[in-house]
Amino acid sequence: MDPIRVVITGAAGQIAYSLLHSVAKGDVFGKDQPVELMLLDIEPMMTVLGGVVMEVMDCSLPLVRNVVPTADPMVAFKDADVAMLVGAMPRREGMERKDLLKANVKIFKAQGQAMDDVAKKTIKVVVVGNPANTNAFICAKYAPSIPKENFSALTRLDQNRAQAQVANKLGIPCNDVNNCIIWGNHSSTQFPDVSYATVKVAGKELEANSAIKDDHWVRNDFISTVQKRGACVIAARKLSSAMSAANAIVDHVRDWWQGSGDRMVSMAVWSNDNKYGIASELMYSFPVKTAAKGKIEIVNGLKIEEWQRERMDLTCKELVEERDAALAECEE
């Protein structure tokens, strides 16, 4: 099988350090799919990145056919099949995501332009660097020759956090919880929703709400715990989530590449095909299904109640504001 070319940006950073081994040993693209790893970081990080490259080599993994460290986006994105855009300035304690926008959005403009010039038109892109949804929007905008459907932002970490909260509440394993949804922005306005989730308790498949039997928790503590989880990790570690973020990137790209099956998963995607009344031209997190190596399909038609509507609209409003601020920043 021919190798695929996989770009990881921020390759000298902490998320990439947790991510590389999984990508290199076949957890994402399958155990028989060889990979070429294109590792992009900024010039001052090239010595550190050199050490990471040595470690990747020293894992002696048969699927790794080539490892290229570079500070040049035109080298990194050349003929790329997949890009995991992790590189950005991370949020530190006390910093709001909006402060990050100014610093980070231009990185994604430049990377979009480089992809437009040299990547395959079929490239699949997941943006992780924050503000992830808006960075993905900017990246897609500045890569006009690549379909918008090929871009996404990571909200799988939020979905995994939501699943873990439900599993913990019911005392069941996480893989007995399915179809938790994240609506909207990867920020504190995100709306984690268990309305369509199912759980397996004592061998029986149940609706999550009827197993949890605690509407107050579902509409309050559960939501705020998931919304604030990233900030809590930063407060404790003084660094943002890295292991769990890398794990979520693996889940997101694996499901995109290999198909999500019957499960709904959450991904922030181009909003134009949604039937939920969410504004067009946003990277909004929806429930989606993916066919192997195929298009991401928004799962439309779920019944929405008034209390859900309010939360979906609130996070949409934030994304519109972020998008407009980012566009203004890029046009300066």
What DSSP element (H or E) covers 316? helix 306-331
Tell me, what amino acid is at 111? Q
94 known member of a binding site: no
Within 8 A by CB and 6+ apart from 124, the residues are 81, 82, 83, 150, 152, 253, 256, 257
Which CB, 69 or 90, lies closer to ligand NAI?
Answer: 90
What DSSP element (H or E) covers 54? helix 46-58
97 known member of a binding site: yes
Closest separation in Å from C-beta 268 to ligand NAI: 9
91 known member of a binding site: yes
Residues lying near ligand NAI in the complex (CB under 6 A): 9-10, 12-15, 40-42, 45, 86-88, 90-91, 107, 128-130, 132, 154, 157, 186, 240-242, 245
Tell me, what amino acid is at 127? V
Tell me, what amino acid is at 33? Q
Q: Which two tokens stand for residue 248?
A: 């979520």
263 known member of a binding site: no
CB 130 within 8 A of CB 91: yes
Give the bridge partners for 285, in sequence order.
184, 268
Annotated catalytic residue, options 21, 186, 216, 252: 186
Which CB, 101 or 199, lies closer to ligand NAI?
Answer: 101
Residue of 53, 51, 6, 58 whose CA lies nearest to 27: 6
Closest separation in Å from C-beta 97 to ligand NAI: 8
Closest separation in Å from C-beta 326 to ligand NAI: 14
Place of tokens 């790209």: 253
Residue of 227, 139, 230, 248 whose CA lies nearest to 185: 227
Give the bridge partners for 48, in sequence order.
none
Closest separation in Å from C-beta 254 to ligand NAI: 16
Residue with the shortest CB distance to ligand NAI = 13
d(CA 41, CA 8): 9
Closest separation in Å from C-beta 100 to ligand NAI: 7
Which CB, 89 or 167, lies closer to ligand NAI?
Answer: 89
Which CB, 19 or 194, lies closer to ligand NAI?
Answer: 19
130 known member of a binding site: yes
Parallel, antiparallel or unpaired: strands 82-85 and 4-9 = parallel
The answer to whether residue 216 is catalytic is: no
Which CB, 12 or 37, lies closer to ligand NAI?
Answer: 12
Residue numbers in the known binding site are 41, 91, 97, 104, 128-130, 161
Residue numbers in the known binding site for NAD(+) are 41, 104, 128-130
Q: Which of the residues are catalytic? A: 186
